[in-house]
Structure 1
Amino acid sequence: MQVIEILREASRQVYENVKDLAGTKAAAEDHGIGKGGDISRKIDIVAEKTVLDYLKKIKFDCIVLGEECGRVELSRKPKGFVIMDAIDGSANAVRGIPFFCCSLAFAPKNKLSSITDGVVTDLSNGDMYWATKGKGAYLNKKKITVHKQKPVYKIVGINVSGATPKLVKRIQPIFQNSNHSRHLGANALELALFARGLIDVYIDLREKIRVTDMAAGYIISKEAGGVILDQKLKPLDSDLSYETRLSFIAAANKQILSDTVKQLKL
């Protein structure tokens, strides 16, 4: 079985197991602090257990890096890393806001740039975004690309959750110019919408995002033709450590990237 098929099946099983749990009182049960530093809710635990159980069942030789469970070694001879945020957008999921997802990616090496496969499943409806390096990006069975034309409305995704006053001041031009800004609460799914052509540029300069939050969105966006750079405007890359925190800009084309850079004075 190919890696992408494994990730897709694991993600499908997560959808089946949590689709009726979101928005319920049970979903919010406190299970302590996860390895990522946030409170683990029951819906997070159910989703992660689904992935881990499936990978164990098929005896996939890997090391799992999970948002809640941390590092789980499933083999003494791993083929690489499964980077898992089984529920991205936990706050939305707990409240029943229909914007949260399962994010799974595979990297043969301890580098973001080595990722070969990624799947982001919209857990509110089962839509599956996926990509394999060199083979393009897909929504279910349809190939997708970033928005190529000049947009009628320029949609800017920008994560400002927990942003410092200094950063808010720095990014103020984004809100003042003729942009239509959006922050929806699940980075991986927002990157999937970017890859689909529904968002023209996605910005996160908080230096807070973890690799688990955006690994699958990273490969899907790149395979859809997007440009993803760090805040120094170099190709985004990092190790896969829990301590690593990233900032990035994902742009649909060079013109939108140039306009965004000018507004932010990067």
Structure 2
Amino acid sequence: MHDAEQLRRVAVKVSSEAAGLLRDMACSEDLGRVITGETTVADKKAEDYIVDMLRSELESVQVISEEAGGVASRASDAPIALVDPLDGSTNYLSCITWCSVSIAFADPRSGEVLAGSVAPVYSGMPVSFSRGGGCYHGGVRFGKPGIRGSIISVYVDEPGAVEAVAGAIGRLKGLRRGFKVRSLGSAALELAYTALGYIAVFVDLRARLRNIDVAAAVGAIRECGGVVMDGRGYPLRIGVWSVERVGSVVASLDETLARIAVEGGSG
């Protein structure tokens, strides 16, 4: 079993190179063609590239991915790679430059997420972490950054949820002037920027997010000293042995802000 820092470096390398591949292919009409279900040519090409790279970088690895699925063994010593080859695919296929590649590594026996990286497809450096080894923006390790941005990132579907979260937004704005609400289209990347402190609060009440979507970014937020909760205010649980939904997600470097968002969203 590789140590967490080794796995972080592999995650950064593979996610960054896959992001480069997607960037080089961007805005090609063929990439949006559906292969099966919701899988497009872009998704499949990126995933195949990532799986090949992971298997060349590591002696053995168990891959759980968006397109291929998979089930990992708890008895194996091979780390589990949770792969989202293209988060923000609607943006990507629309030539909108906010999308990312996300890779996390987990211990198959404990289920602990050990390391991960979220790499922007276009501008920006990867956000990565290793458990106990700190958070990185590109190649620079940083401590607890604190909130530097004024964005509240919000995803809701149902009218009732919109009304509920509106109250929370009002309370948040009462605490800190200048907050602005955005929904940018790549949850993994927005969570990564929450870890950096550029997004103050992340709220997704659609109950659609899966472990492969968020494992790397959630690990980074926690390693940076932040909190990630489910829609009821409990620490978010992330299973790692197969693709599964994690439900609603609320995150911030400031626990008070996260709890206000949870109370509003469940109200």
Q: TM-score range by the shorter chain?
A: 0.7 to 0.9
8 Å CA contact retained: 1:63, 1:82: yes
User: AA paired with 1:214?
Assistant: V
Alignment counterpart, residue 158 of structure 1, candidates 151, 154, 162: 154
- Matched residues in 1 for 2:230 and 2:196: separation? 21
Runs of 4+ in structure 1 off by over 6 angstroms are: none
Contact 1:210 1:244 in 2 (8 A): yes
Return the alpha-carbon distance in structure 1 between the equivalents of residues 15 and 59 of structure 2. 15
Q: Give 3-state SS (helix, strand or coil) of 1:12's partner.
A: helix
Shift of 1:62: 1.8
Match of 1:169 among 154, 163, 166: 163
- How far apart, in 2, do the equivalents of 1:251 and 1:232 lie? 15
CA offsets per residue over residues 224-257 of structure 1, 9 Å max, x none? Answer: 2211112222211132343433212112213323
Give TM-score, length-normalised by structure 2. Answer: 0.85
Equivalences for residues 230-245 of structure 1 within 5 A: 230-240=230-240, 241-245=242-246
Within a 5 Å distance, the mapping from 1:11-30 to structure 2 comes to: 11-30=15-34
Matched, 1:98 2:97: yes
Closer/same/farther in 2, CA of residues 188 and 60 from structure 1, 3 Å limit: farther
**1:21: how far off?**
1.4
| Residue 206 (structure 1) shift | 1.7
CA RMSD of aligned residues (A): 2.5
2:122 aligns to what SS in structure 1? coil
Cα separation, 2, equivalents of 1:145 and 1:158: 26
Q: Which runs of 5+ in 2 are unaligned?
A: 174-178
Correspondence for 2:217: 217
| Alignment TM-score, normalising by the size of structure 1 | 0.86
Q: Secondary structure at the match of 1:232?
A: coil
Q: Name the CA shift for 1:54/1:13 in 2 (closer, same or farther; >3 Å).
A: same
Counterpart of 2:138 in structure 1: which amino acid? N
* Distance in 1 between residues matched to 2:53 and 2:45, nearest whole Å: 12
Q: Quick one: distance in 2 between partners of 1:224 and 1:73?
A: 28
What is the correspondence of 1:47-66 to structure 2 with a 5 Å cutoff?
47-66=46-65
Q: Pick 1 or 2: higher relative contact order, CA cutoff 8 A, min separation 6.
A: 2
Q: How many residues align?
A: 255
Query: Cα gap change, 1:232/1:111 in structure 2, threshold over 3 Å: closer, same or farther?
Result: farther
1:111 offset after TM fit, Å?
6.8
